[in-house]
Structure 1
Amino acid sequence: MLRADFVHLHTHSHYSLLEALPKIPDLVEAAKVDGQQALALTDNGNLYGAIEFYKECKENGIKPILGVDFFVAPRARAQKEHRVDDHPSRLVLLAKNMSGYQNLLQLVSKSHLEGFYYRPRIDRELIELHHEGLIAILPASGGEHAQTLRNGNKERAREILAWYKKIFGDDCFAEITRHPEIARHDEQTKAILELARGELIEPVAACETYYLQQEDALARELVNKIRTAGVFNRDFEQAAHDYSFASRARALELFADLPEAVENTVRIAELCELELKLGKAIFPTFPIPKSSSDDRELRVLAEHGIGERQMGDTPELHTRINYELKIIADKGYASYFLIVADLLRHARDSGIFTNTRGSAAGSLVSYLCGITTVDPIEFNMPFERFLNPERPSAPDIDMDIADNRRDELIEYVRRKYGEDKVAQVGTFGTMMARAAVRDVARAMGHPYAIGDRLAKLIPFGKQGFPVTIQRSLEDVPELAQVYKTDGDSREILDLARKIEGNARHVGVHAAGVVIAPTPIVDYSPIQIDPKGNHIITQYDMYSIADEYGGIGLLKFDILGLTNLSVLADSVARVSVRLGVDIDLDKIPLDDTKVYELLTRGETLGVFQMAGGGMTSYLKDLKPTVIHDINAMVALYRPGPMAFIPEYIERKKDPARVKYLDPRMEEILKPTYGVLIYQDDVMMIAVQLAGYSWGEADKFRKAMGKKIPKEMAAQKEKFIAGCGAGGMKKEAVQKLWEQIETFAAYGFNKAHAASYGNLAYKTAYMKANFPVDYMAALLTADAGDVEKIAEVVAECKRMGIKVWPPSVQESKGNFTVIDDTNIRFGLYSIKNFGTGVADSIITARLPAQAGESGGPFADIGNFLSRIADRNLNKKSLEALIQSGALDDLGERGQLLTNIDALLSYQREHMKAPTDQGSLFGAGNSKPAPLKLPTSAPATMEERLGWEKELLGLYVSGHPLDKHKRKFGDPKKTIKHAKEHLRGVETVIAGHIEETRINMTKAGERMGFMKIADYSDAIEMVVFPRVLKELESLLSLGACVAVKGKISERNGESSFVVERAKAL
């Protein structure tokens, strides 16, 4: 029994998505500090925060009550008539037990899947169907009865109360609130009490909560304005209603005249006895013969893989297979392996390229079943890093899939296991520091420039380590100064801090897919993803996965990876163009062309190997074996990067390689004695210090966390174990010092091997089939202008010419013409539909009987053979301006006569076929097309069109007439950005974009993009300089500018001081 005097039963968290403020830990902490023993969470129309709330309450000794503040449709949920069905009422439902919780899952899911109309809505039919195990609280403000009373229809309100009483019986309560600040609220309350008593419905007290402190009312109003794209009204500050989190004392004071309503809060809390089973994995069912078992099927698959992988059938091999299979069987994980193996087999059979990353590559069973592509025996990778008898959580096999075919693979999962048993994992976009500042500034009615200026003073965070406004105020002097001296900025930042980190919208996890043994809705509420295509879970990965103490559904990570799409495309191109079929899982790992390419630093487009820093190290390292590539994958990260020079020196000079104990040579020989991998440290702990594999795994985790108490305990155990194993005291101490240094930086060896293998494959294709690989890379980057420009520049360096599109040669994507020439694809042209592109490609196919085919003879022939009605003025203009019709006519002439071209095409489409009329009226084709001469397009026009339609200059560059001034690589924008930050220097280039903003003082300030052959950079031109130089710094101008490069948040800009025309 609760020793409580009041319980909050109607509270909202930030998971009400821009309608409430409290984060779950803050809400629970507020209850704990006030001595409250139970607490309900009732977010608007969802259960997003339910599991987080449940766990947080349990950890803090508070009884969690799960509920939802539902939207109820005015009529049936299927009815969606504007201005009739877009004004739902409200109903709070609380789960008494597991039956009630299951009904909450059903109601929430159906409100999103069936009743969504502006809001997720339930209706009376669903309430009647799913009322068991639920307590109904009829809201004092939004309830249907309350709305009806406000409209003056007392009898209808009575009927509504009677209906709810009939459905829920004694579990139906009428909410009573206290808002003396709201006009006529007391009058409404009395009417509700009178009607409720007449229907034998008991009252329950509520302090509806949307924020914790009344001072947060303004911030809550702001998130409402952010949600509705409205602007905050300053009058709100005086008229704000109180929806703060009331203390017990305050609640008892508010309801002193109605003690039974307060007592009913405790009574309801006592009725709610929901206990969830969390943190235990729930495995889906893999279809197998009735006479078999998951363990038997997995063994058959693994043993079959011995021959598939061409491995020697030795006793040692079977010993390891049996060892792994026993652990998998004891853990009950066989079905998981079978599901993943089946999924990847289907991918291979369908030509979908995959890669498996993470510790799964340490499993021989995974390798034999076709789950991974790296032999764990060859690379000395322990199974126990992936799975050991003492590991409590389920295994995690992370799959990378060619990103352009990921949806196909997920669709296969849906077909195999059932649409209702498969869902992608939901996630939440949160209001990070920069976004919160911009949102608040806009909602308060400030000009965009104000919020943008403040936001840009906040540094970018790193993935997993977001930067906060508070930290930025401490670390960025300029931001601190603005906060101190400018009242508007201070108000924006203070309010942004109140909403920072709150959930803003629902998204889809980049990789997570769950498969359940029964419908997903039995375990998690579901809804449609934001694009309206597929089902996602309302619970995020932390509420789903057993390792985080979630509901336990098994999450399969299926991540789309562009590099795999590039590999698949390049392999297919080589097969079609050269007749060479490549199996990338069987290519030699000692190809000299690969290592020579990496040694030369030609790494653009090579997975994990590109970038200035990595390239520089590779040129120094001169890799010769796959282990070098794996090591660079592991070492090129903040922290372990410091070990790269030592690794390189040891490779160059074997005399530098020494081992503190002879037993370490077998473990560390591939890395020249350098501790790089967590797996190697685990093996040292097992072989030298006598650890079990379970103890070694705990040792690995302790190193990663670097908790002093844990490290001290491990140090004592490790040193004692090494001493008992025969190591000298001095050597043990040195070894421990090495491990301590390594602790924070250790990398997963299997992950490095998987990614190193993929890096090698991309380098292999680039080194051996360069033009096909680069065409595939261009295709994958289509739409990203900056990446395309980089790849085109790399093609030029490689001696490969990239041409504009051509109706004579281009296919849809970037097209290989021969070993040294690539053309833009027709799909790359802006304002040009794929349907017309496909019509052109089809018309160009070799002639069929009675039809013309092959190359187009002239522009008339082209127009007469393209019968696609979508070849309109806009698309024909795009073809001309992009250069796709250069082989058939001059751009200026074609563009001047575009109306005549379209008229000719229309006439041809109207003309009868070659069969003619029975009476001789056929064969009346349009006259041959003759175009009058006109002025040809200038080079500036041609380049401008290419830039607009293809994203970059292809047939030339605006700087070509000044080319002699750009020969020195140390005078390029790229060199300046990399080596001359903060140093006064001169750069030159072509101005591609201009923008003028107004400063707070009302002065004009310029922002311009300047580019040369190597790179581009934003120029910042302050008001004083702009007044003097604006005529020079015009769009399209070729100029030299003097100034300094500054960098903020990883973005470089050039502050202009002087300028002159080239």
Structure 2
Amino acid sequence: MYLNCKTYFSYRYGTFTPKQLVEAAVEIGATSLALTNINNTSDIWDFVALCNAANIKPIAGVEIRNEDMLCYVLIARNNLGLENINRFLSQHLISKEAFPLRPSFSDDVIIIYPFDKGFFSNLVPNEYIGVQITDINRLLCIDYKKYVQHLLVRHPVTFQNKTYYNLHRLLRAIDKNIILSKQIDTHKAAPHESFLSFSVLMDYFQQYPQILSNTFQLLDTCSIEMTFHLDKNKKYYTASKEDDKELLRKLAYDGLHYRYGTRNKTASERVEKELKIIDDLNFNAYFLINWDLLKYAKSRGFYYVGRGSGANSIIAYCLQITDVDPIELDLYFERFLNPYRKSPPDFDLDFSWADRDEMIDYIFKRYGRDHVALLGMFSTFQFKASIRELGKVFGLPTTEIEKLLVGDYNKADKNHLQIYQYAKLMNDFPNHLSIHPGGMLISEHPIYQYTAIDLPPKGFHTAQIDMFVAEEIGLYKFDILSQRGLGHIKDTIQMVKANKGIDIDIHNIEQFKKDKQVAANIRTGNTTGCFYIESPSMRQLLKKLRCDDYKTLVAASSIIRPGVGQSGMMQTYIYRFHHPDKFEHIHPKMGEILQDTFGVMVYQEDVIKVAHHFAGLDMAEADVLRRHMSGKTRGNEQMITLQKKFFSNCKERGYPDHIAAEVWRQMESFSGYSFCKAHSASFAVESYQSLYLKTYFPVEFMVAVINNFGGFYSRELYFQQLRKIGATVSAPSVNYSEYLTSILDDIVYVGFVHIQNLEKKIADIIITERQQGGIYLHLQDFIERTNIGMEQLNILIKVGALSFTGKTKKELLWEGNFLRKATTSITVGKSLFVEKPMSFSLPQLPQTPLEDRLQEMDILRFPQANAFEMVEADLSKYPLAKDIPALKGKEITCLAYLVCTKDTATKKDRRRMHFGTFIDAAGDWMDTVHFPNSAAMFPFKGRGFYEFSGIVTEEFGVFTIAVNTMKKVGIKKLN
């Protein structure tokens, strides 16, 4: 009967959740149910599990549409039918071709056409016509007896009731980006598309028993069998499990000798232990595939970092998947893989943002497109976004919508009330398929057995299932991630090799850990540009901890996370770090469990330790709790059960209620924001690599940071840092600049990419012509060889790119515009004969440094020299950052240039406050705190110079100015 049911995975169309659809089917007494979402099979696995639990026969299918036109419904007669449907669907979603109006399938797929298509002739055995209750009278218009064997009851189910029908209409209007009054019938479903009971449908078709009989018979022939939690990944890297086992053993021992030498008994014993567990749990191929990916990356010169819980494995360390020594940090392998762990492990493999796409492409080609897909995820409607979309559908002006977003609405306004009502109903509805940040699936059998494939804008085949479904059905993801920090490292290494002829072994982590100058830079917070440790809060934390060793940096990488920081445990950790004998643990057992971290939960493993050793949950339950608290599961029923058991066990063990509640609060604060220790260690390794490069090759390192367009701060700050370390930074030059910032003869030339409104094709012409014909001799030579237009020429002159001519910008602007107008025919390229340029007699046209700075701010968005040359103030009367420690407790007035701000709220009453980060005239940091009263009275007003007064405070060696008053200071005016 119910051959055409949809959930909200029919994006912006259906209104049932999968669970609601099955519950509604149970309520009306359905014994079988077909899920046929529009052009996708995203929730088919959830649907099957729900139906099995409800004792309803699940049937898999899809509704095929070309935009608003319903073409047909496809029903899988069996698992092969579902695979074929997924293949068919994927083929057209990937190619973006319209679906055929009359497809061809084997008997494993049933095709049901809508009645109004009129496909009544030449129907093959697996083709049917679906008859809705609205089509019954139209049966009188056909030769019923001739076609009766091909007629079925097709009653679409799209929404629950009248309220949800209205929501459906709104979703359709959102999809069409129209106001509701512009909606037409073809945009939306018919009003009758909600569940009707079996008896009601029987009444409708009482005169056509053969149609009912056909429908029942078809339902009987359909079945779908889906196995959950059974490994569906690529089984072998080689030809067999035994070959995988032997290869992994060989690679592990080769790596063991490289990492530890030949006489490390502890390491050898751990290798043997891990190899046995990996083999017992059938993860040999998983390790070897990761090893294979990184072998390819090395062959291409790609730098990478392996991180996450995989760094708990000595095998991963020996295979150089990670650079974290698990013995050094006492990381236990069972956190990554153990016989009791129900969830699959995974490695996080980070590549440079510039290399990641090639790595993804390699995986597709290495393991085959029929077996590989990027993991999907679902963008969902959230309340504010829903308010905005519904406001547009109701035709409200933008100003009125903005008021609704902050809760300012008219309770007597029907539109306002409806917008809030339906925004709540559609909260968390899937909006569209998106791409998981890095997950990839590699299956043993064709991927179409499990999911259809789509092609989002990224350009790679993407599964229509998310990580939760993949995990449930036994597909374990490979995480292929990217970050710009690795681009910094890779580019620095290449520039050092090119400029200085030095080869750097960036994996020589032990040398970096022992380097005294590197340690000094960590301790003083001299970490600008370095991955994960350059932000103001991290820089301050390093100084507070006087961090100059690896293990402290590992802890710092985790306690800076919001879960630890916002719960107050970061401050507790810092205090206890400095005063290990001046505190009491919340309970002696907590001190025993968390001895290494001063009784503070810092890592995800600490949640497992506390749940198991303090509250008596078994290790499997403790790991599940950890996953819930780190946001790696969905649903909260299991979490509620574990929470009850936690408190029940605590009571049985005699812990006071307030102690149990506080321990739970500390655990809960980790939700979504904690690191496992191995993850922190991986970040710390990369931080050391960045720090080493910054310490010994600072110019190349900072240029690499600039060229990767990624860091905590704006590019202006990184150019300022170059000047601060003594580098000569030149304006963009048509004779020496590349598209990206480059180093030539120890001079840093700003890249053309930083020039606002300069067309890339013009930059390419300048560079190509220079490479082919040599440097430009003068302005006329440049114009003739590039045929540059006046607008683009003026930009280059104003930014100083033709300063090699020795003429002022004003002279060049005058001459350049004259030459462009005077020249009627220009041949691009260098002339065969060197000709003297035209000469001009011009009055003196001086250019002041202030004019240069202002033009640079306009064209580059940052000045080429010290920004403080522009400020309208006497700098000599303001203290610098280096003077502040001697002024502790005093009120001072400073002048500084704003770098960035951080907004937050007070814990007690959630009042708005800020932290500010500035640089002074010497280029050194100044940090400020703006409490609510000050923040309200003296707000920030964008980038620029600020004069502020406040009290100098100190905490564990870090000095901050608590600002009382502040004003923005202007820049000098041109005479």
| Counterparts of 1:318 and 1:933, CA distance in 2 | 82
Residue 566 of structure 1, CA deviation: 1.4
1:505 equivalent in alignment to 2:432: yes
Where does residue 616 of structure 1 map in the other structure? 540
Matched, 1:32 2:23: no
1:124-154 CA deviation, whole Å, 9 max, x = no partner?
4xx32x232223322134xx21xxxxxxxxx
Equivalent position of 1:65 in the other structure: 59
Q: Using the alignment, how far apart are the partners of 2:712 and 2:311 within structure 1?
A: 36
The one of 167, 173, 176 equivalent to 2:128 is 173
The offset of 1:956, in angstroms, is 7.2
Distance change (3 Å), C-alpha of 1:62 and 1:905: farther
C-alpha contact 2:19 2:50 (8 A) present in aligned 1: yes
Partner in structure 2 of residue 139 of structure 1: 114
Distance 1:264 1:928, change over 3 A: same
Please tell me whether the aligned partners of residues 341 and 620 of structure 2 are also in contact (alpha carbons under 8 angstroms): yes
Are the aligned partners of 1:161 and 1:196 in contact in 2 as well (CA < 8 Å)? no
Aligned position for 1:153: none
Counterpart of 1:930 (choices 818, 839, 842) is: 839
Q: Select which of 94, 103, 107 maps to 1:113.
A: 94
Structure 2 distance, partners of 1:662, 1:497, is 46
Label 1:679 to 1:649 Cα distance change in 2 as closer, same or farther (>3 A): same
1:663-678 matches, within 5 Å, as 670-672=596-598, 674-678=600-604
User: 1:628-647 alignment to 2 at 5 Å?
Assistant: 628-641=552-565, 642-647=568-573
Partner of 1:476: none
Give the corresponding residue for 2:231: 281
Q: Which moves more between the two structures, 835-844 or 882-891?
A: 835-844
Give structure 2 stretches of 5+ with no counterpart. Answer: 631-635, 879-892, 902-912, 916-929, 949-965
How far apart in 2 are the matches of 1:104 and 1:240?
A: 23
Where does 1:693-772 land on structure 2 (aligned, <5 Å)?
697=623, 710=642, 742-744=666-668, 745=670, 747-772=675-700
Quick one: distance in 2 between partners of 1:579 and 1:301?
32
CA contact (8 A) 1:703 1:740 kept: no
**3-state SS of the aligned residue for 1:318?**
helix
Distance verdict in 2 for CA 1:443–1:789, change over 3 Å:
farther
Correspondence 1:203 to 2:151: yes
Shift, 1:284, TM fit: 1.8
Deviation at 1:538, TM superposition (A): 2.3
Task: Report the equivalent of 1:375.
Answer: 325
Higher mean displacement: 386-395 or 403-412: 386-395
SS at match of 1:510: strand
Alpha-carbon distance, 1:53 to partner: 2.3
Deviations 1:437-488 (A, max 9, x none): 2222223322233334433x2xxxxxxxxxxxxxxxxxxxxx1x52535444
1:416-452 CA-partner distances (Å, limit 9, x unpaired): 2234332222333222222222222223322233334
Q: Which moved more, 1:963-972 or 1:638-647?
A: 963-972
Change (3 A) 1:330 1:620: same
Contact 2:61–2:73 (Cα < 8 Å) also in 1: yes
**CA-to-partner distance for each residue in 1:1013-1047, whole Å, 9 max, x for gaps?**
3799xxxxxxxxxxxxxxxxxxxxxxxxxxxxxxx
- Shift of the 620–210 alpha-carbon distance from structure 1 to 2, 3 Å rule, reads same
Question: Structure 1 stretch 360-369 or stretch 882-891: which is displaced more?
Answer: 882-891
Distance of aligned partners of 1:110 and 1:419 in 2 relative to their CA distance in 1, 3 Å threshold: closer
Residue identity (%): 26
Distance 2:413 2:749 in 1: 55
2:887 counterpart residue number: none
Which of 331, 346, 349 aligns to 1:399? It is 349
**Structure 1 residues 503 and 932 mapped into 2: Cα distance closer, same or farther (>3 Å)?**
farther
- Does structure 1 retain, via aligned residues, the 8 Å contact 2:550–2:684? yes
Alpha-carbon distance in structure 2 between the residues aligned to 1:688 and 1:239 = 56
Between the aligned partners of 1:418 and 1:809, the Cα distance in structure 2 is: 45
- For 1:960, the equivalent position in structure 2 comes to 870
Going from structure 1 to structure 2, the CA distance change for 1:352 and 1:945 (only over 3 Å counts) comes to: same
Contact kept in structure 1, 2:506 and 2:689, CA below 8 Å: yes
Q: Give 1:492 deviation, angstroms.
A: 2.7
Say whether residues 1:320 and 2:270 are aligned partners.
yes
Match of 2:801 among 870, 877, 884: 884
Alignment partner of 1:95 is 2:76:
yes
The offset of 1:817, in angstroms, is 5.9
Alpha-carbon offset, residue 750 of structure 1? 1.1
In structure 2, relative to structure 1, the CA distance for the partners of 1:372 and 1:693 (3 Å cut) is farther
Q: Give yes or no for the alignment of 1:227 onto 2:136.
A: no
Q: Partner of 2:5 in structure 1?
A: 11
Letter in 1 for 2:112: I
Residue 691 of structure 2 corresponds to residue 781 of structure 1 = no
Residue 811 of structure 1 aligns to a residue in which SS? coil
- The offset of 1:409, in angstroms, is 1.1
Answer yes or no: is the 8 Å Cα contact 1:88–1:121 preserved in 2.
no
* More displaced 10-residue stretch of structure 1: 435-444 or 376-385: 435-444
Moved more, 765-774 or 624-633: 765-774
Match of 2:311 in 1: 361
TM superposition shift of 1:257:
5.0
Instruction: Give the distance between the partners of 2:947 and 2:379, measured in 1 at CA.
Output: 32
Q: Which has the larger displacement, 14-23 or 662-671?
A: 662-671
Deviation of 1:669 (Å): 6.2
CA deviation map 1:311-336 (0-9, x unaligned): 45333322211111111111111011
3-state SS, counterpart of residue 375 of structure 2? strand
Please list the CA deviations of residues 682-738 of structure 1 after superposition, one character each: whole Å capped at 9, or x if unmatched: 679999999997687568669889957646767898999xxxxxxxx9999999899
User: Is 1:329 aligned to 2:304, yes or no?
Assistant: no
Query: What letter matches 2:99 in structure 1?
Result: R
Which consecutive unaligned segments of at least 5 residues does structure 1 have? Answer: 1-6, 73-85, 146-159, 180-184, 458-478, 721-728, 846-850, 915-922, 990-1008, 1017-1055
Q: 1:605 aligns to what SS in structure 2?
A: coil
Higher mean Cα deviation, 882-891 or 378-387?
882-891
Cα 1:685–1:988 change in 2 (3 A) is closer
CA 281–937 in structure 1, closer or farther in 2 if over 3 Å, else same: farther
Q: 1:688 to 1:318 in 2, by over 3 A?
A: farther
Match of 2:550 in 1: 626
Specify which of 804, 809, 813 is matched with residue 895 of structure 1: 813
Aligned to 1:644, the other structure's residue is in SS state helix
Q: Is residue 950 of structure 1 aligned with residue 860 of structure 2?
A: yes
Partner secondary structure for residue 284 of structure 1: coil
Deviation at 1:187, TM superposition (A): 5.2
1:747 deviates by 4.3
Pairing 1:909–2:841 present: no
Structure 2 match to 1:1037: none
Q: CA RMSD in A?
A: 4.4
**Displacement of 1:358 after TM fit?**
1.4
Deviation sequence 1:18-54 (CA, Å, 0-9, x none): 2333332332232233333322221222222322322
TM-score, normalised relative to structure 1: 0.75
Report the secondary structure of 2:945's partner residue.
Answer: coil
1:561, distance to aligned residue in structure 2 (A): 0.9
Q: In the TM superposition, what is the alpha-carbon distance from 1:843 to its structure 2 partner?
A: 5.4
Number of residue pairs aligned between Structure 1 and Structure 2 = 897
Q: Per-residue deviation at 1:622?
A: 0.9
CA distance in structure 2 between the aligned counterparts of 1:200 and 1:396, rounded to whole angstroms: 54
Amino acid at match of 1:134: V
Secondary structure, counterpart of 1:585 in structure 2: coil
Whether the 8 Å contact between 2:403 and 2:409 is mirrored in structure 1 is no
Counterpart Cα distance in 2 of 1:422 and 1:904: 61
Mapped to 2, the partners of 1:983 and 1:519 lie a distance apart of: 62
For residue 752 of structure 2, what is the aligned residue in structure 1? Answer: 826
SS at match of 1:601: coil
AA at the equivalent of 1:23: T
Secondary structure, counterpart of 2:275 in structure 1: helix
User: Match for residue 598 of structure 1?
Assistant: 522
**Alignment partners' CA distance in 2, 1:910 and 1:772:** 35
Is the CA contact 2:773–2:829 (under 8 Å) kept in the aligned structure 1?
Answer: no
Residue type at the aligned position of 1:204: L
Distance 1:631 1:943 in 2: 43
More divergent stretch after superposition (683-692 vs 640-649): 683-692
Which of 491, 494, 518 does residue 418 from structure 2 map onto? Answer: 491
